[in-house]
Amino acid sequence: MAEDSDVETFVAAEVYVDTPRWSGVPFHLRTGKAMAATRRTITVRFRAPSLRMFGDVRAVDGADELVLELTDEPQVSVRVRAKRPGPDLQLAGATMRLDFEDEFVDDDPLEAYERLLLDVLRGDQTLFARADEVDLLWQLYDPLLTDPPAVAPYAQGSWGPRPAIDLPGGRGWRLPEAGAR
């Protein structure tokens, strides 16, 4: 990004869904250009359960996550708390992973735009927004477009500006670099 640029190329937001099921649950969203890597990741972080029934055990960092990597090599992983093998009750993080590329070796998946174009040709509207959805989005974003926040510069090839990296708090974003969490 040019030093004097005020063009938005990145956004990070904490949003909430106003329904009883999702009340108080933050959704952290971000997207940008010239990032450290091209990623399409959905991370669902579950609330940590009470560990009182296990006596004096410590929480396990990074546990209780479902991660969907929606890249050309899709993966699904679940990070859980598990009892470490042995006679003592010690909890540790353990990951279960499904790697579609390893499981479906002979398949040739479509790239995102190939899939989208095929859906257009087939008349499948599943992945497309309806007119009423687009109208609602304009209503939601109009105040932001009318009074936009200040642009926060970030280095090309980074994970974005520091305020965006710090947005989700202690558990951070799911990024490959520990320094970017």
Rounded Cα distance, 132 and 128, in Å: 12
Q: How many domains does the chain have?
A: 1
The pTM assigned to this predicted structure is 0.68
CA nearest to 5, candidates 36, 29, 34 = 34
3 domain residue, yes or no = no
- Residue 21's contacts (CB-CB under 8 Å, 6 or more residues apart) are none
Token pair, residue 11, equals 């956004």
For the stretch 86-114, pLDDT in tens is 998 877 888 888 888 888 888 877 787 88
Q: What separation in angstroms does the CA of 105 have from each of 73, 88, 108, 155?
A: 11, 40, 8, 37
181 domain residue, yes or no = no
**CATH number of the domain enclosing 90:** 3.30.360.10
4 domain residue, yes or no = no
Strand partners, 69: 41, 75
For the stretch 150-174, pLDDT in tens is 888 888 889 989 899 999 887 778 7
2 domain residue, yes or no = no
- Residues spanned by the domain of 79: 10-174
132 domain residue, yes or no = yes
Rounded Cα distance, 1 and 75, in Å: 31
